[in-house]
Structure 1
């Protein structure tokens, strides 16, 4: 990783940590960009270089989490995502990241998870999907979303 990428990673981690800390204390809609960048220790212009708004920061953080999850628990097929071993890994992930997941839920932003999961699953196929394949992947995304936000979230 080059120096520029390292700096970018530090900025994103700082923004992520600041956002999660602030979301534990107050509603997302009441968090200002000014407050966020101050907590993160980055310039306001730096925030806007990467994100047009706070919602896009949340989208990025969800997208990044999905990519990192798949790197760690990459199933070989889409079908494996419906099987118990994979769902056990999802449950472990939810347990590990329960505070950010709850914060997203409490802030009314859980729909962003579903949107990003849809995009993520579609991006895993290196070709143009048929409508049947898209419906299958959207069903998987919806199932995983419901498991996380209507199953696991209540248990944690």
Structure 2
């Protein structure tokens, strides 16, 4: 028997998979919540219990992949995120999640990636940050965003 948390993760995974499948052949703006929940095999009310709209699901999808990335490669400092070894890990991450990232890009939603990356990096530094440290984090997020979307994704 599944725990409540396992059941929730299964629902989220089903919704993420359904969204990515639909985005492969349909414009994001034309995907309906009904199509999404039908494809995922969940009730419409279940979707709305966890998300306000499709953009919230995309934000969750991005955040989830960023968390998974940090489980594999978790730099201890901001400056470590600028090192070559980190950038190699980012490149592997892009290869692993290429279809997801490409779908976000093609759908014109890459701005959500930058938004979530900013939030994710701020959460990685739970202590109060000085304005200089915030600027450094936002600079890192912008650099990583540009590397991913203007380098790796447009190349492919």
Instruction: Name the TM-score, length of structure 2 as normaliser.
Output: 0.97
Matches within 5 A, 1:6-85: 6-85=6-85
How far apart in 1 are the matches of 2:76 and 2:124?
A: 11
1:113-147 Cα distance to aligned partner (Å, 9 max, x none): 00000001111112111111100000000000000
How far apart in 2 are the matches of 1:24 and 1:144?
A: 24
| 2:5 paired with 1:5 | yes
Deviation, 1:76, is 1.8
Unaligned runs of 5+ in 1: none
Unaligned runs of 5+ in 2: none
SS at match of 2:52: coil
SS at match of 1:128: coil
Taking only aligned residues, the RMSD between alpha carbons, in angstroms, comes to: 0.9
